[in-house]
Amino acid sequence: MIAYVTVGVNDIALAERFYSAVLPALGYRLERYQGDLSYILPVEPGTRPVHPDFYVKAPFNGEPAMAGNGNMVAFDAGSQANVRDLHAAALAAGGSDDGAPDFRASYGPHFFVAYLRDPQGNKIALFSDNPDEPGRDE
């Protein structure tokens, strides 16, 4: 089970603006720890976490953060409307578009996705694969 995912950034303030425009709407709460950002999903007392936490940090080795080619973190937005809304919020918060909200021919008929880059260049996907919503071929 994945416990957490970390992305490296050089500007915590820009990263906070970007991620705080998206992640709280998906149920994450922000915690700050030693100048870094931790986006945590709530856990009921007495239960174990099901989803990974998401950390935004400066690299521990002190070198500049760099986005990895082929690396991406995907967040289930739950609905096509949330994908659209969160994509727009992320762009307004300093992100850049890397694929507008839409269906993709190479994925299933209900997989609706948008791709973004955070201000550091890390690739983020927001998706919905809800079979109760209209699909690509409907």
Spell out the domain ranges in the chain: 4-59+72-128
Percent of the chain whose pLDDT exceeds 90: 80
70-128 pLDDT per residue, tens: 899 999 999 999 999 999 999 999 999 999 999 998 999 999 999 999 999 999 999 99
54-68 pLDDT per residue, tens: 999 999 899 999 988
Spatial distance between the Cα atoms of 1 and 114, rounded to a whole number of angstroms:
25
The domain made up of 4-59+72-128 is a member of CATH 3.10.180.10: yes
Q: What count of other Cβ atoms lies within 10 Å of the Cβ of residue 8?
A: 20
State the chain's mean pLDDT as an integer: 93
Spatial distance between the Cα atoms of 116 and 37, rounded to a whole number of angstroms:
19
Pairing of strands 73-76, 123-128: parallel
